[in-house]
Amino acid sequence: MNYFSQNNDYSCLVAVSSAHTIDVRNLHKRYKNGVWGNKNITFFANPGEIMAFLGPNGAGKTTLVRQMTTELIPTSGRIYILGNDAVDNPRLAKSALGIVPQDVDLFDYLTVHQHLRIFAKLRGLRGKAANMRASELLGDLGLDKYSHTEIKKLSGGLKRRLLIGIAALANPPIMILDEPTTGLDPESRKDVWEFLKVYRNNGSTVVLTTHYMEEAEELSDRVGIIKEGEFLALDTITQLRSDYGYEYKITFKEGLPNNTNILYGSDYTQLVQRVTNRGISEFSIAQTSLEDIYLDLMNRPKVDE
């Protein structure tokens, strides 16, 4: 399957006036076996924004992404890409996207540079422009020394970097990446982060799924937390802290040896007072992390409608 569109002229793509690059409305996906992949998903994404989707395996992140990239057809609901209906006009919608799927095969006997040059031509770049763009991405993604290496000789992490490069070839207005840094070492992961930040700063929309809390916290302007196909939360990390009363956490020892306790709250002074009132003088206090919010939401019992 060809995951990479062939047109890099985006001037004619907007069919419906919209301030949002992505607009998903009341999306439901139910598989033939009766299992719900997504339920009532509604959100929008803006130019110059990175949005990260978090959730356990099987939560529905990839199902959502595959509907946005037109690979899956929703059971109900609508998806608009630059104002174009992704169900009614999948080719037009997809032509605005740079996509990194979770699983995709590359050509074993082609080199890294050959992949970038060939896909650059498929995206409308010609001759010197295709070679220049390929060389530029080799440098941006730290693939220079692998330029003439055949794909079959690359590690999984290097292949992921190449896929990100292929997705970015035509500087698409929207990039959708399904676990883009899986298999990368910490240094390479941070290089990819900086690469994606440049695209965000240049006005592109970046949507990604990830299992790495640090990645979502470092990159995202907004975070969507998904469980059993539904959004539990979608907002900035700052707003999520405020909404759930999780501005700060205080950690201390109490009771049995090495028994660590954690209290959360929105007021720094009140948290300290609660602990000192219990006769505890040694503790640490810090602002809560995205992981704290995520784990709390995942562990909350589901309220039946």
In angstroms, rounded to a whole number, what is the distance separating the alpha carbons of residues 121 and 127? Answer: 8
pLDDT given for residue 3 in this prediction: 33
Going by DSSP bridges, is the β-strand pair 248-253/260-265 parallel, antiparallel, or unpaired? antiparallel
Beta strands in the chain (DSSP E): 22-30, 36-45, 49-54, 76-81, 84-85, 97-100, 174-178, 205-209, 222-227, 230-235, 248-253, 260-265, 283-287
Fold exhibited by the domain 22-240: Rossmann fold (3.40.50)
Structure tokens at 1: 């399957």
pLDDT digit string (tens) for 64-117? 999 999 999 999 999 999 999 999 999 999 999 999 998 878 899 999 999 999
What is the H or E stretch that residue 161 is in? helix 156-168
For residue 49, what are its two tokens?
């924004």
Residue 98 pLDDT: 95
Can you list the alpha helix ranges (DSSP code H) found in 202-251? Answer: 213-219, 237-243
Pick the closest to residue 293 from 227, 229, 219, 194 (CA basis): 227
Q: Calculate what percentage of the chain has a pLDDT beyond 90.
A: 70
Q: What is the pLDDT of residue 105?
A: 82
Strand (E) or helix (H) holding 191: helix 186-201
pLDDT digits (tens, 9 = 90+) for 223-252: 999 999 999 999 999 999 888 878 899 999
Q: Are 234 and 225 within 8 A, CB to CB?
A: yes
Confidence of residue 15 (pLDDT cuts 50, 70, 90): very low
- Structural contact between residues 36 and 30, judged by C-beta atoms closer than 8 angstroms: yes
Task: With a cut of 50, say whether residue 5 has pLDDT above it.
Answer: no
Q: What is the mean pLDDT of residues 123-151?
A: 91
Q: Is 212 helix (H, G, I), strand (E, B) or coil?
A: coil
Which residues are within 8 A (CB) of 69 and not within 5 positions of it... i.e. 6 or more apart? 3, 94, 97, 99, 101, 176
- pLDDT tens-place string over residues 103-116: 878 899 999 999 99
On the question of pLDDT at 13 being above 60, the answer is no
Segments making up each domain of the chain, as ranges: 22-240, 241-299
Report whether 179 contacts 147 (CB < 8 A). Answer: no
pLDDT digits (tens, 9 = 90+) for 166-222: 999 989 999 999 999 988 889 889 999 999 999 999 999 999 999 999 999 999 999
Confidence of residue 260 (pLDDT cuts 50, 70, 90): confident
Give me the chain's average pLDDT, please: 89
